A and B are shown apart, each in its own frame.
Chain A
Amino acid sequence: MNVITAYSEKTSYEECVKEIKEQFGSVIPKLILFFASSHINPYFISDEIQNAFPKTPTFGCTTAGELISGKMLKNSLVAMAFTENVIEDFKAVVITNLPKTTSKNYQQAGDIFEKHFGKKFSEMDLKKYVGIVLADGLSKSEEKMMEEIGMLSNVLFIGGSAGDDLKFENTYVYGVGKAYTNAAILILLKPAAGFDIIKTQSFRETGKILTATSVDEKNRTVIDFDGKPAAEAYAEVFGASEETASQLFMTNPLGLMVDDEPYVRSPQQIQDKNMVFYCNIKEGMELSILESGDIIHDTQNALDDKINEMGEIAALINFNCILRTLELDNKNLSGEYGQIFSGIPTIGFSTYGEQYIGHINQTATILAFKAKQD
């Protein structure tokens, strides 16, 4: 046995956990990951699920929608139990008070990883280790966190920012029975038989570029593009008015290009001619204006390519941007998206931002595991 997936759509947290426990059966997993709708009380669920599996550390977060093999769900709890065939070893660290963290906090996390694995964090082989990061989705701290981790190690951390079903009030991450807000969970994994990462988004370059010439980085705001008020410069590209420019946000975000691959920056709103984004943009960054493609087609292709590369995939964790979920919902394609993952044990959630090298938007970052043979 490699992994077991389970889900519950019950309304009480006790019943949710009872259903999950029934589906997991008598297996004592190495690690359990779970993603829960924010409608389920965060403090009760974190405690209840850990009590239900006292011999297995449990980690997770709140969501803006959940994903399980073959289905996209709302108001549910999804969970995956990993056996030693998939995860040989792991160590988790909780980073608290996220907006006020300094380099020292991440160095301490690195030291904990080093002590556990007996290997310097800076020297760990990125082909043998991989990290999962679950972060408070309203902390606006993910960019700094990813930069700090990236400075300390070559190991890739992928993950998502916790959601709260579009209420934008509080998001939580869960670690071994506790619920934390303004926090992140870093889980460094040593997979048993290999892993790979899928980063997929459905946008193409238009050939048009905007350069951020004045920014308020902390507030994820661009004041000027190319020396003009940001909203005016963005609208001008499309021959649109500033009043109607926000209607283009979903289909025409901006992309920071890395090796011809966009790292998407999604606009959120216009405020006094400034453009507020869902992740930060630094002064001087050149950003490609993107146009949207077909999420279903592109995700299926990305998964098929990875299956061809890896051979059999034992499990997937899918961190899928809430903006993709909203687009799929609007186009009545959520069922079809869920079906892409029907053949592989999968869990995931709709995120308030995705993590891969940095903090990105309108993307699915997916961790794919291989398994040792029984």
Chain B
Amino acid sequence: MAGKIKQTIDLIIKEKSMGDETIARLTRAKLIMMGINPHKYDIQSQDDPMIITKLLQAAKDFGLSIK
């Protein structure tokens, strides 16, 4: 399976920023600092369970409810 990482990243940024480009940029920067570079993943990227778990935890810590 592929694409889940990009999908989750996009969802986190969308939910967190609510369309505010400054907050979207800031959220991308925070993810990079956590070791997940959003620019590295596209729809073809293989689903890596470790990265997906990390992203879901990040979403939870951001106060977002993403499944």
Contact = CB atoms under 8 A, between A and B. Distances in A.
Interface of A: 103, 122, 126-127, 146-147, 150-152, 154, 156, 256, 258-259, 263, 282-286, 357-358
A279 to B, nearest CB: 10
B26 A126 contact: yes
Contacts of A156: 26
B26 to A, nearest CB: 6
A147 B62 CA distance: 10
Contacts, number: 44
Nearest to A282: B35
Given A103-B61, A259-B25, A358 B33 contact: yes
16 contacts: A126-B22, A127-B22, A150-B30, A150-B33, A151-B30, A151-B58, A151-B62, A151-B63, A152-B63, A258-B28, A259-B28, A263-B33, A283-B35, A285-B35, A357-B26, A358-B30
B22 A357 contact: no
Contacts of A283: 35
Interface in B25-67: 25-26, 28-30, 32-35, 37, 40, 58, 61-63
A316 B32 CA distance: 28
Contacts of B29: 258-259, 357
A71 B63 CA distance: 44
B24 to A, nearest CB: 11
A126 B34 contact: no
Given A259-B25, A358-B33, 16 more contacts: A103-B61, A126-B23, A147-B33, A147-B34, A151-B30, A151-B63, A154-B23, A156-B26, A263-B33, A282-B34, A282-B35, A284-B35, A285-B35, A286-B40, A357-B29, A358-B30
Top 8 A-B residue pairs of the complex, sorted by shortest distance between their CB atoms: A282-B35, A358-B33, A151-B61, A258-B29, A150-B30, A357-B29, A258-B32, A154-B23
B63 A122 contact: yes
A139 to B, nearest CB: 18
A116 to B, nearest CB: 20
B14 to A, nearest CB: 15
A283 B36 CA distance: 10
B5 to A, nearest CB: 12
A156 B29 CA distance: 12
A226 to B, nearest CB: 16
B37 A357 contact: no
Contact of B30 (A103, A284, A285, A357): A357
A122 B30 CA distance: 15
Nearest to B34: A147
A152 B30 CA distance: 12
Contacts of B40: 286
Nearest to B26: A154
B32 A256 contact: yes
A103 B26 CA distance: 20
A277 to B, nearest CB: 14
B38 to A, nearest CB: 10
A127 B40 CA distance: 29
A259 B37 CA distance: 11
Nearest to A120: B63
Contacts of A103: 61
Nearest to A358: B33
Contacts of A284: 35
A248 to B, nearest CB: 25
A330 B64 CA distance: 49
A286 B30 contact: no
